Structures are given as structure tokens and as C-alpha cells.
Chains A and B, each alone.
Chain A
Amino acid sequence: MACELIEVNSQDNCETSDGGIYETQMVPGEQIEDVTFDVNGNITNFTMLTEGQWKSYTYDDDDSAFYNQTGNRANKKITYDQQAFLKFAGTTTTKITFADSLAQCCNLVCIHRFNSGVAIVQGIDRLAGGGWAFTKQKAKATPSALSDTGAGEDRIEITIGSVGRNLSRATTLSKAAVLAL
């Protein structure tokens, strides 16, 4: 992306800001054959090898989930450490199986839906030439299964980490559109 400054005023219309994510759709990266972007760099379409591979996850509604991207610059080299955190309270055999199988995926693509309304795609980099690639370090899940103590909740926690060449792009695709693929 070329150096082009875009004006932003954070005090326009006294806008509110609601952090966190509430829902994520995931697919193994090897199922994605192509990604289409609009002129603003938003992802507008995926081309899949087989249908019905996107799965949706709704985690605990306790404001614990997040998707953070932290920039690192070493002179001309810049990367972003990208980390999502999803928590599912209540340990069940289904959740254990889900977490264990997710750990076997070496290249995830995740659409994190923010409480603010935007949907951000982890696992895909938009390249300077206009093409795309999977992130420099592909997105992988690290699950934890915690019993906690009698004072707390037992739970499955999923951390999805990746390293991107640039910030994750937004997508204009709704949940229904993604799940229709």
C-alpha cells in the first residue's frame, strides 16, 4: 500500500466506540481458492473448493473475547502480531472435541465480528500488488481446557495467533453470506 494520508477525526458526531468481538466464522485455509477485494481493500468474496466449510462460533457473552493486532517495526520491516481470544464456559465432550480438532488446523481463516459492527478477517494478507496471501505466520489455534475451582467456571479457551504483513482487512460479507458458501 502506497503512502497516502487519509484524514480522520475521532470526534466527528461524538461517536461511541464498543470494543470486543461477539462471533467468529472459521474455515481451514486450504479450502480457500481465491479472495476478491473491492477498491477500498475490503474482502467482498471468497472462492471455496467445497461448499459448507465455514463454521460459526458464538462464545460467552461476558466481554472476554477480543481480536488484537500489535504492530512491530524493525526499520523497514513491519509485522503485526495478531491474537484472538474466545471463551466457551462449561466443559462438554462436544467442546473438547471441537477444541482438539481445531488445534490440528495449521492454517485457519477467521472472520471476527466486532461489537462495533465491523467484521475483520484474520489469516489473509492483502499484498502490495493487489493480490492476497495467507498471513506470514498462518493462523493457528491453541486451546486450553480449564476446570478452575469451585468458585469459578470450567471452560474451554481458544487463542488464535498469527503474524501478518499488514493489518487484517475488513469484509463486507454477512454471516449468512459466508455460511452460504
Chain B
Amino acid sequence: MGTPLNKRAKGNLGSYSVINVNKRKSLITLVNGTPVNLLGTDIESFVPATSKKPASPRIIRGATQEDLKILYEQKHSLITLTTPDETDREEIRDSQQEDTTLSNQQDPV
């Protein structure tokens, strides 16, 4: 029973979101060199033809929580981390204590 709880708690440490969105239709930024839309929706754009390349469509994908986490760690000022409510925190704390107990049992030193 402990393992599923641990997994749920670790995945529920908080969620990342974008602030100051206002009425923006899109907010494009780079995540590991790839453009993503911070608003979380895919954008289909059209790359016009040049003398070197023909015209082509391209998709800018919507940002995932993982993308937002990367940006948050890079101190992107528009990304914030919302921690879970107090109940969830207690759940996490309990599961972390359980983790510690388990690891102590499995790793005798």
C-alpha cells in the first residue's frame, strides 16, 4: 500500500503555472532550444518561402508541466510554482517519513 501513496505524493509536490497571462493569445519561449507556447496549446504557424527553402507549416507545441519546471529552474519570471494545500503537504510528509523508514530498513549501515 505504501508504494502507490509514495508515487502519488511525489507527483503532487506542486504545479507550475504561468503568471501575467492577461488576455495573451500565445507566449512563445524556448525550452532546451525548442519553441513552446506557454499557454499550453499547440500553435500551427506558417513559415514563408525564402530563396533557400520552400514554404512550410510548423507546429509550436503547448508547454507541459515538465517544460514549465525547466523554465522555473532557469528562473523564468513568468513561471510560478504552486504548492499543494496543507492536507496534501501532510500526506507528502507522511509518505516521505515512510520512505525514510523503508530506506533505513533496506540499507543497514
**Interface residue ranges of A32-60 to B (CB < 8 Å):** 33-34, 36, 38, 44-52
CB nearest neighbor in B for A174: B33
Complex: A45 Cα to B75 Cα, angstroms: 11
Asked if A181 and B26 make an inter-chain contact with CB atoms under 8 angstroms apart, the answer reads no
B8 interface contact, C-beta 8 A: no
Asked if B33 and A51 make an inter-chain contact with CB atoms under 8 angstroms apart, the answer reads no
Chain A residues with CB under 8 Å of chain B are 33-34, 36, 38, 44-52, 131, 173, 177, 180-181
**Interface residue ranges of B14-66 to A (CB < 8 Å):** 24-30, 33-35, 38, 43, 45, 47, 60
Query: What B residues does A44 contact at CB under 8 A?
Result: 74
A131 nearest CB across to chain B (Å): 7
Asked if A177 and B60 make an inter-chain contact with CB atoms under 8 angstroms apart, the answer reads no
A-B contact count (CB 8 A): 59
Interface size on B, residues (CB 8 A): 21
Query: What B residues does A33 contact at CB under 8 A?
Result: 24, 27, 78
CB nearest neighbor in A for B31: A45
Besides A48-B29, A50-B28, A173-B30, 9 other CB < 8 A contacts?
Answer: A36-B74, A36-B77, A38-B74, A46-B29, A48-B27, A49-B25, A49-B27, A49-B28, A181-B35
Query: What A residues does B10 contact at CB under 8 A?
Result: none
B93 interface contact, C-beta 8 A: no
B76 interface contact, C-beta 8 A: yes
When A180-B34, A181-B35 are in contact, do A131 and B29 touch as well, CB less than 8 Å? no
Asked if B74 and A47 make an inter-chain contact with CB atoms under 8 angstroms apart, the answer reads no
